[in-house]
Structure 1
Amino acid sequence: MSEIITAQQNELAGMIKRYADSDGVHATAIPSLFFIRRSDASGPSYGVYNLSLCLVAQGAKEVWLAQERYEYNPADYLVASVRLPVTSQVIEASAEVPYLGLKLAFTVGQILEVLGDSEIRAGAKENAKRGMFVSRIEPTLLDAVMRLVRLLDNPKDIPLLAPLFTKEILYRVLQGEHGIALEQIAIEGSSAHLIKEVIDHITNNYAKSFRVEELAEKVNMSAASLHRHFKEVTAMSPIQFQKQLRLQEARRLLLSESTGAADVAFRVGYESQSQFSREYSRMFGLPPREDMMQLKTQHDPIISD
């Protein structure tokens, strides 16, 4: 890592420490910017990554998308270009040297704005790409991130400059080696964009049953083509994707409400409690009741950041 990047990473770590003085996910005065701090490499967290850029200033983290593992540290950045249910875990952290991370959320509209104002590519429709990637960080990208973060010390500048710096950050990511994956999500009519529409539909209706043929009809694809492109973007089938959403929501409900497993199973779309219990155990390692007993002795076990 170059001296310039190292200096910027140290400055970023100092800013995160200052604005995130305790473990957890911390919102900032910039609505799309979040800081994360962890003082130990504890167990996995489960959640859905929305469109976002994630950086590590100190420590290291791994994210599992289905059976694929993505590890990143201060030399890298991770991008999720669509909503994806994941398992994440901080793998380097201690009380003396905590994990310090940053998440910047963005929208398809912001990607389109950058594409419209630049000549990055001609905008040709290509085959769908994986909706998550890790790349080596470049000084130009980190410099744009630092200018955004420094706005927290000058809040009056945020309304005008934060959108400009965010736009530059997306421009740098789109110029990177995996930028095409981000571009394709925004291009209307591309297979990746159509899969994003299907992902949004499943996410908003995860408790309802569906047939792949019905989803394919919504986006004018054949069932085989939808299944292939969906797996290319998410690393899982539509049914597997829905199952992860259901189980993550079930776990959240069990922990946050005084509700039994049978009621929760029904609320997230299961008709069979035994099937729910089997699939829950397969994903989280324990049946619902035992998992809840263990979770309630831990901190922040649900929210993935």
Structure 2
Amino acid sequence: MSEQIYKRQGDLAKLIERYSEQDGTYATAIPSLFMTRLSNATEPKYGIYNTSLCVVAQGAKEALLDQDRFRYSPADYLVASVDLPVIAQVIEASPEVPYLALKLEITPNDILEVLRETQIKADKKESTKRGMYVSKMKQPLLNAITRLVHLLYTPEDIPILAPLIKKEIIYRVLQGEHGGRLKQTAIEGSSTHQINTVIKHIMQNYEKSFKIEELAKIANMSVSSLYRHFTEVTTMSPIQFQKQLRLQEARGLLLSESANAADVAFRVGYESPSQFSREYARMFGLPPKEDIQRLKV
């Protein structure tokens, strides 16, 4: 990391620390911008990375997408070009040097606006790539991110300047080494756009049964093509993707409610509580009751 980028990351860390005085994740006055501060490394946590740019100003984090491992720190940034179930873990943080990070959520319409206003080529025939990547941070992108965060301290400027700076940030990401992956999410007719449509459908209907032929029709693909492209983008099959969503939702329900495992199993779409318990233990390491007891200690 160059000295200039190192200094700018220090400036960004100070801005985030001023905004987030206690540990936690905070929504901000800028739509789609979130801040996180943590004083200790964390255990692996299951969750969904929605389409977004993730930047660490201080500390380091790791995201696991099936067998693909993505580590990012102040020298890097992470992009999720589609919504993905991951296991994430803060691996560098302390009370003296807390983990400080931000997330900027991005929609396909955000990307299309930038594509329409620039000379970036939009070819829907580009090959399908993994829906998550890490790239090296560059000075122009970091400058734009820092300016966006600065707006939090002049809230009267946010309505006019935040949308312009967000466009610049997306433009810089699209220009990056792997920017084509984010671009493909928004280009109608591209394989990634079609797979993203299927991902959205599964996420909105995860508790319902479906046939692979139904998903292929939504994607306007053959069954074999859907399976191949879906696996390339997400690392997993549509059924495995749905299973991860169901089990993550079930864990959240068990933690937040007093419902028993059988009731939760039916609510998230399982027909057999015993199958639910087996798959839950396979994913989280313990059967539902024991896992929840461990998490609540």
Distance apart, 1:123 and its partner CA: 2.8
1:285 maps to 285
- Alignment partner of 1:4: what SS? helix
Report which structure shows greater RCO (CA 8 Å, sep ≥6).
Answer: 1
Q: Distance in 2 between matches of 1:206 and 1:189?
A: 24
- Alignment partner of 1:213: what SS? helix
The 5 Å alignment of 1:190-229 reads 190-229=190-229
170-179 vs 281-290, which moves further:
281-290
TM-score (normalised: structure 2): 0.98
- Alignment partner of 1:78: what SS? strand
The answer on 1:141 being equivalent to 2:141 is yes
**Structure 2 counterpart of 1:39, which letter?**
S
- Where structure 1 has 5 or more consecutive residues not aligned to the other structure, the ranges are 298-305
Q: Distance in 2 between matches of 1:278 and 1:21?
A: 41
2:239 maps to 239
8 Å contact kept, 1:148–1:166: yes
CA gap of 1:291–1:160, structure 2 versus 1, over 3 A, is same
Q: Distance in 2 between matches of 1:96 and 1:65?
A: 30
8 Å contact kept, 1:125–1:184: no
1:41 maps to 41
Distance apart, 1:16 and its partner CA: 1.0
8 Å contact kept, 2:115–2:122: no
Q: Distance in 1 between matches of 2:15 and 2:135?
A: 23
Distance apart, 1:124 and its partner CA: 4.1
1:301 maps to none
20-29 vs 235-244, which moves further:
20-29
2:22 maps to 22
Distance apart, 1:125 and its partner CA: 2.2
8 Å contact kept, 1:20–1:35: yes
2:261 maps to 261
8 Å contact kept, 2:22–2:37: yes
TM-score (normalised: structure 1): 0.96
2:60 maps to 60
Q: Distance in 1 between matches of 2:127 and 2:91?
A: 33
- Alignment partner of 2:70: what SS? strand
Distance apart, 1:122 and its partner CA: 4.3
Q: CA RMSD in A?
A: 0.9
Q: Distance in 2 between matches of 1:141 and 1:42?
A: 28
Write out per-residue CA displacement over residues 12-45 of structure 1, whole angstroms, 9 at most, x where no aligned residue. 1111111111111111111211111111112111
Equivalent pairs: percent with the same residue?
67
2:154 maps to 154
Q: Distance in 2 between matches of 1:27 and 1:217?
A: 37
CA gap of 1:52–1:122, structure 2 versus 1, over 3 A, is closer
2:181 maps to 181
- Alignment partner of 2:292: what SS? helix
8 Å contact kept, 1:53–1:105: yes
- Alignment partner of 1:215: what SS? helix
Write out per-residue CA displacement over residues 149-177 of structure 1, whole angstroms, 9 at most, x where no aligned residue. 00011000000000000000000000001
- Alignment partner of 1:208: what SS? coil
Write out per-residue CA displacement over residues 100-127 of structure 1, whole angstroms, 9 at most, x where no aligned residue. 1110111100100001111122434212
Paired positions, count? 297
288-297 vs 59-68, which moves further:
288-297
The 5 Å alignment of 1:70-81 reads 70-81=70-81
- Where structure 2 has 5 or more consecutive residues not aligned to the other structure, the ranges are none
Q: Distance in 1 between matches of 2:39 and 2:154?
A: 28
Write out per-residue CA displacement over residues 212-263 of structure 1, whole angstroms, 9 at most, x where no aligned residue. 1111012221100000000011111000100000000000000011110000
**Structure 2 counterpart of 1:120, which letter?**
I
**Structure 2 counterpart of 1:210, which letter?**
F
Runs of 4+ in 1 over 3 A off after TM superposition: none
CA gap of 1:7–1:269, structure 2 versus 1, over 3 A, is same
The 5 Å alignment of 1:163-174 reads 163-174=163-174
8 Å contact kept, 1:65–1:87: yes
- Alignment partner of 1:199: what SS? helix
